[in-house]
Amino acid sequence: MKILNGQELAGFIKERHAKQVRQLHSHGVQPKLEIIQAKDDPAINTYVRLKQQYGSDIGAEVGVHKVKQSKVPELLKELSQESSVHGIIVQLPLEDTSQTDEIVNLVNPKKDVDALGQKSKFEPATPMAIMWLLSGYNIELTGKKILLIGRGKLVGAPLEKILKDSGYQVEVIDREIPDLADKTKAADIIITATGSPAILYPDMIKQGAVVVDAGVASEEGKTVGDLAPEVYERDDLTITPEKGGVGPLTVCALFENVIRASEIRHNNG
């Protein structure tokens, strides 16, 4: 088994980010990210803590606002106009998911570092992290059958666009399709992003496949991915670990956008 260790790659990226932030500090610029959290959930709390820690490690400022969803539009308006703020994210999912599109589109496009709004100036963090992970371990995508399970706003939809724009052969399916196993057995590379625990079992994956688990869900208070634990008993796969695969790189990709937003603001005065 070959492990796609995002934590290892994240270490190199973090060093580069710390240098870039020190450079910005030398020009009197303090990169600043504001996180708006409207739902209390173990998985969400974990991700917010990781972002705060990463910001602290590289010298960027991270503010967290835990507010009721009804207060989010007003807060977004305020932060969008605040000149010291370079990046703003609305931590998903919201309590009332029917308002997601409306709310993420209220973020100033120049500060929309999660790239959830239609006019964002940035690449979405998780798809960027998946591409970094595959590239960092020299996974060849050309001529391979890539299967993407999940069409969500955060991962599936933007990743499909990136892969297709790059000319790769990708098929996107929902997890509920009746012939899921037929599709997964035919794929050379499987990327799952459903947030449903254990949708993929060992007998559903072809010999020597590459498997990237980008799903996140809460189960009995723990953060779990899309793969059944038994998948890790196979020794022929190239696979993300149960912890430390895409997640650490997603945080890196987010701060890549925060630093870029800070540099753009600095260069444009």
Q: Could you tell me if residue 115 is inside a domain? A: no
Q: Could you tell me if residue 21 is inside a domain? A: no
pLDDT reported for residue 167: 96
Digit-coded pLDDT (tens) for 146-177: 999 998 877 898 899 999 999 999 999 988 88
pLDDT reported for residue 152: 83
Digit-coded pLDDT (tens) for 223-253: 567 899 999 999 999 999 988 899 889 999 9
State whether 213 and 130 are in the same domain: yes
Q: Could you tell me if residue 17 is inside a domain? A: no
pTM of the model: 0.87
pLDDT at residue 217 tops 60: no
State whether 179 and 75 are in the same domain: no
State whether 131 and 210 are in the same domain: yes
pLDDT reported for residue 220: 53
Number of domains making up the chain = 2
- Distance between CA 266 and CA 219 in Å, rounded? 43
CATH number of the CATH domain containing 87: 3.40.50.10860
State whether 145 and 191 are in the same domain: yes
- Distance between CA 193 and CA 258 in Å, rounded? 24
Percent of the chain with pLDDT over 70: 96
State whether 80 and 131 are in the same domain: no
The β-bridge relationship of strands 87-91 and 170-173 is: unpaired
State whether 95 and 208 are in the same domain: no
- Separation in Å, CA 137 to CA 56, 134, 141, 146, 156: 28, 5, 12, 16, 21
Q: Whole domain around residue 86: which residue ranges? A: 26-109
Digit-coded pLDDT (tens) for 83-136: 999 999 999 889 999 999 999 999 999 999 999 899 999 999 999 999 999 999
